[in-house]
Structure 1
Amino acid sequence: MTTNKTVAKGIRDLEDLDAVFEALAHRSRRTILSILLIRGGAMTSRDIADRFSCAWATTSRHLGVLKNAGLVSVELDGREHIYRLNRDRLVTVAGGWIDRFRS
């Protein structure tokens, strides 16, 4: 029997999948996640931006998409924005979807 809670959870799951896979769809965002992983999971926005040849506004938009998808969090340390990788979110949402296809 399907309940309203089950339907609501299914809708939330689909929204999570859409947000995460939309974020992963762009190469620069995947690169940002990889850089964060390699650098220990946290970096300033300036350090992240220095690795790209695009304008700061473009990097800022990419960071915003990652944040909105829950793949990174941001905290203010003085005047610096520190971005932290949220590995659990990536593994739970993307990994959980991929696991459905394992035999």
Structure 2
Amino acid sequence: MKGADAVSFPETFKALSDPTRREILNILKGGALPAGEISEHFHMTGATVSHHLTILKNADLITDRRSGKFIYYELNLSVFEEVMNWFQGFLDKENKRNEK
């Protein structure tokens, strides 16, 4: 992750704002995949898919690792957990208000 103590929320939300990138994240829920297999799910060039993967990687939503001649991409669940914890703070505050 980029910062030791916080997610870059602007980058995270920018990355999540695009439907293609959200679909890539859905595809990766099944496990790590090489870029070529991710590209097979879309009607766009490999370069365009690579651009989307770079944005997701810069937002720390995915990680990559090289294995032979392939680069495998997978979800970085720690960032999802941090975002969910941030959202949970709003719910907790609202629940405390409702208890009063």
Which TM-score band applies after superposition, normalised by the shorter structure? Answer: 0.7 to 0.9
Count of aligned residue pairs for this structure pair: 89
Measured after TM superposition, the shift of residue 50 of structure 1 is: 0.5
- 2:19 matched to 1:19? no
Measured after TM superposition, the shift of residue 96 of structure 1 is: 2.6
The alignment's TM-score, normalised by the length of structure 1, stands at: 0.79
Range 15-24 or range 53-62, more displaced: 15-24
What amino acid maps onto 2:20 in structure 1? S
8 Å CA contact retained: 1:73, 1:85? yes
Aligned equivalents of 2:84 and 2:11: distance in 1? 14
8 Å CA contact retained: 1:20, 1:90? no
Aligned equivalents of 1:55 and 1:16: distance in 2? 28
Residue 25 of structure 2 is matched in structure 1 by: 33
Aligned equivalents of 1:17 and 1:42: distance in 2? 24
Unaligned runs of 5+ in 1: 1-8
Residue 41 of structure 2 is matched in structure 1 by: 51
Aligned equivalents of 1:98 and 1:54: distance in 2? 33
Measured after TM superposition, the shift of residue 91 of structure 1 is: 2.0
Spell out structure 1 runs of 4+ moving beyond 3 A: none
- 2:91 matched to 1:99? no
Unaligned runs of 5+ in 2: 95-100
Give percent identity, aligned residues only.
Answer: 33
Write the deviation string for residues 30-64 of structure 1: whole angstroms up to 9, x where unpaired. 11111101x2x211111101100011111000000
Measured after TM superposition, the shift of residue 19 of structure 1 is: 1.1
Measured after TM superposition, the shift of residue 97 of structure 1 is: 2.7
- RMSD, aligned CA: 1.6
